[in-house]
Amino acid sequence: MNLLNTWFGNWRSSVVGWLPAIATTIALVVLWEVLVEVLDVQRWLLPAPSVILTELSDSFGLLTRHAGITLIEIVIGFAVSVSLGVTIASGIVWSRTVERSIYPIIIASQTIPVITLAPLLIIWVGTDIMSKVIVIVLFTFFPITISLVSGLRYVDHEMVDMLRTLGASSWQTFIKLMIPSALPSFFAGLKVAAVVSVIGAVIGEWFGASSGLGFLMKIAGPQFQTARVFAAIVVLSILAIGLFAAVVAIEKWVLRKYPPTANQVVRLGES
């Protein structure tokens, strides 16, 4: 019973905390609806929220089917990015040679617009799921890698000296101290990557696909099915929010044993 009361209390606190965002969103939607009606904007140019909601209902099956394909691409690409990011970041922190060899290349890779590589990937690997996964990885591995490198580097040197005094090896120091200390930074990168992974999936589908929400938006636009485009955007937003929330939930579970001060939010201007 106590556990249920605790869960209900946490849920109620979360809902209350999100009330300002919910109220702002509702106000913007109402304003959008009113302006479209008052200004007599054509549906093909800018549909009202009520029209988009109707499209969501009418095309629910179509949107769900394409969203499932996009979600599979995102999950695979995200998993590859996490594996790649953890491996590269560990190598950079562990070896100065690896850092000097790879780190500049990683930084330089971000100067190339990924959107320009998407058509080339279609030529190189085809239009199957692999091209979309590669685009997602190109979007997401950088924030994961950089955040983990930063977290692994900024450890308490006094703790490192203490472990060495106690006879801990470099590997034990890395596992027992550096990785736990880097987890908050690592999850910060994961949250950024979770959101941009949706962008990567859409771009990959836009340039070469026969399914997915990006493909659906691509074919709906030229046919002036603007409401369907907005409906796909709504579904993509839900996917991004869901992925972000999933990472936050995992973060809270993993960091549940951290000191309470590690997860406190400082708000300037509030007492």
* Exposure string for 223-258, b = 16+ CB within 10 A, e = fewer: eebbbbbbbbebbbeebbeebbeebeeebeeeeeee
Distances (CA, A) of 23 to 15, 107, 118: 12, 40, 39
Q: How far is CA 200 from CA 87, 111, 185, in A?
A: 21, 16, 22
Q: What is the DSSP letter of 175?
A: I
Residue whose pair of structure tokens reads 């579970």 in the numeric block: 253
Torsion angle of C-alpha atoms 123, 124, 130, 133, degrees rounded to 10: -90
Residue 61 has pLDDT above 50, yes or no: yes
In this prediction, residue 6 has a pLDDT band, given cuts at 50, 70 and 90, of: low
Helices (H), the chain: 2-38, 49-58, 60-94, 96-109, 114-125, 129-153, 157-165, 170-173, 179-207, 213-220, 226-254
Instruction: Give the confidence band of 16 by pLDDT, cuts at 50, 70, 90.
Output: low
Would you state the pLDDT for residue 262?
47
Q: What is the pLDDT of residue 10?
A: 56
Q: Domain locations in the chain?
A: 61-258
Handedness of CA 66, 68, 69, 70 (dihedral sign): positive
Position with higher pLDDT, 266 vs 31: 31
**How would residue 229 be classed by pLDDT, with cut points 50, 70 and 90?**
very high
Identify the pLDDT of residue 225: 85
Mean pLDDT of 140-165: 82
Using only C-alpha atoms, what is the Rg of the chain? 23
Q: How confident is the model at residue 14 (pLDDT cuts 50, 70, 90)?
A: low
Predicted local distance difference test score (pLDDT) of residue 234: 93
Residue 66 has pLDDT above 90, yes or no: yes
Q: Which pTM does this prediction carry?
A: 0.81
| CA proximity to 80, closest of 146, 120, 140, 160 | 140
The per-residue pLDDT for 12 is: 61
Q: How confident is the model at residue 114 (pLDDT cuts 50, 70, 90)?
A: confident
pLDDT 10s digits, 176-214: 778 888 888 999 999 999 999 999 999 888 887 778 888
CATH homologous superfamily of domain 61-258? Answer: MetI-like (1.10.3720.10)
pLDDT at 233: 93
* pLDDT at residue 261, rounded to an integer: 46
How far the first Cα of the chain sits from its last, in Å, is: 34
For residue 268, pLDDT over 70 is answered with no
Size (the chain), residues: 271
163: confidence class by pLDDT, cuts 50, 70, 90? confident
Mean pLDDT value of segment 68-89: 93
Q: State the pLDDT at residue 19.
A: 78
Q: Per-residue confidence at 263, pLDDT binned at 50, 70, 90?
A: very low
